[in-house]
Amino acid sequence: MSYLNRVRRHLLAGSIAVALAGVSFNAQAEQFINVLAGGTSGVYYPLGVALSKIYGEKIEGARTQVQATKASVENLNLLQQGKGEIAFALGDSVKLAWEGNADAGFKAKLDKLRGIAAIYPNYIQVVASKDSGITALTELKGKSLSVGAAKSGTELNARAILTAAGMSYADLGKTEYLPFAESVELMKNRQLDATLQSAGLGVSSLKDLATSQAINVVAIPAEVVTKVGAPYITATIPANTYQGQDKDVPTAAVINYLVTQADVSEETVYQMTKLLFENLPAMEAAHQAAKDIKLEKALEGMPVPLHPGAEKFYKEKGLIK
């Protein structure tokens, strides 16, 4: 082999080694972030898309994706299995997951869950047809009520509220496990007395119902909410949220949370937490529910231990001493 060919071969080998070293370095530096959201027609999904875009653009080396799921219960189980880095979930689902409540869909304590932030509330809205005569929570006894899909976040809310009010499904005349739109269709057809829906104010299903028949928005008294305890909070459905509702109605709300898992690095969770609060206008553009995301409320009722990365951010902001 000529001297020139030997030089060329050594140069080529050196170039390959440098290239391979670069590939190895980049692979090591890359951070994959899977955002566990919910159904594509819900609130979690557009907010998840917004988060994914923010993280993909602003976390160096991050590769992101959004996963459509059945929301809270599935998201939390996936986090425990290491199949996601950040997830949306209702507060009571998070609490029951931490406790390992089998009835709620958790076969064992999900001990890897770690908190990032409280975000916005879901309002628990109990709406009855005026013809049913139901004007108070206790008057649901002997009546038919749809409580949401079985083991959904809404159904967990229904169980908690009824229990705190001294009732159970056994006290109802009939219990239906139906999504929002199907519940409303039954009410329109006079086949159902009332529906409990855990959603944002002015949810389209209840607006539809209120325009088609006279309704009563049923109060959930503050003492019932207090009995349930965190992460439930007292709230108000303002007058005229729905057609024919001429007064404010007290109710309960459940805070939604962003949750991660213990195996995600401190730096990644720090960045995810920081970028959430630095990009709230982009979140609000994705869905109006994000208008309720406030830094000062980020630790409100957190049902699981904070991740050290989130804790670092809140210490910087003075929320944790």
Helix (H) or strand (E) holding 67: strand 62-67
pLDDT digits (tens, 9 = 90+) for 132-150: 999 999 999 999 999 988 7
Which of the 8 DSSP states describes residue 318? T
Q: Which residue has the tokens 């409320």?
A: 297
> What residue spans define the domains of the chain?
25-120+256-316, 122-254
pLDDT digits (tens, 9 = 90+) for 90-136: 998 999 999 999 988 899 999 999 999 999 998 999 999 999 999 99
Q: What is the pLDDT of residue 21?
A: 42
**Pair type for strands 113-129 and 232-237:** unpaired
What are the structure tokens assigned to 212, written together?
């088609």
Q: Which residues contact 159 (CB under 8 A, 6 or more apart)?
A: 147, 169
Which of the 8 DSSP states describes residue 185? H
**Pair type for strands 232-237 and 144-146:** unpaired
Q: Is the dihedral of CA 186, 188, 193, 198 positive or negative?
A: positive
CB atoms within 10 A of CB 214: 10
Helix (H) or strand (E) holding 19: helix 3-29
**CA gap 34, 216 in Å, rounded:** 42
pTM across the whole model: 0.75
**CA gap 291, 42 in Å, rounded:** 16
Q: What is the pLDDT of residue 19?
A: 42
Q: What is the pLDDT of residue 11?
A: 43
**CA gap 244, 259 in Å, rounded:** 38
Angle between helices 266-278 and 308-316 (to 10 degrees): 50
Residue 151 φ/ψ, nearest 5 degrees: 60, 20
Q: What is the pLDDT of residue 179?
A: 84
Flag residues of the chain having pLDDT under 70.
Answer: 1-29, 41
Q: Is the bond into 231 cis (omega within 30 degrees of 0)?
A: yes
- The two domains 25-120+256-316 and 122-254 share their CATH topology (first three levels equal): yes
Class of the CATH domain delimited by 25-120+256-316: alpha beta
**CA gap 215, 192 in Å, rounded:** 12
Class of the CATH domain delimited by 122-254: alpha beta
**CA gap 194, 198 in Å, rounded:** 13
Beta bridge partners of 126: 196, 218
